[in-house]
Amino acid sequence: MLVAALVLFLIAAVGGVVMAAVRIRNEKNPPVPIAIVHGLAGATGLILLLIYVFGSGFPGLPTVSAVLFVIAAIGGFVLVSNHAKGNLIPKPLVVVHALIAVTAFVLLFIAAVA
């Protein structure tokens, strides 16, 4: 289940990199279809990770990773709400969202290969 979650988070990360590049390089929001795929992949990965964490007795790194991904998801909801209102997504929040998600991914990867 961890491998499936990692693959989904990797798909989300690719979309995230594209969206961050669009937002940081331009004064416009990223395309909605990429945001939808990013969100769906990330949410599905998070659900799989949470099922694993709850079903495995809250193992160390996967649990920390899940907490960080939940925090990143909350940031993602704020980003989406700005996008839905037609406001420009705040660049600092894009960076914080990405840093938290990357940290969570690295911890999950370490847990999966250990």
Q: How far apart are CA 114 and CA 109, in angstroms?
A: 8
The mean per-residue pLDDT over the stretch 41-67 comes to: 97
Structural domain of residue 24, as residue ranges?
2-113
Average pLDDT over residues 74-97: 96
| Helices 2-25, 91-113: crossing angle, 10 deg rounding | 160
pLDDT digits (tens, 9 = 90+) for 63-75: 999 999 999 999 9
What integer best gives the mean pLDDT of the chain? 97
Total structural domains within the chain: 1
Report pLDDT digits (tens) over 19-34: 999 999 999 999 999 9
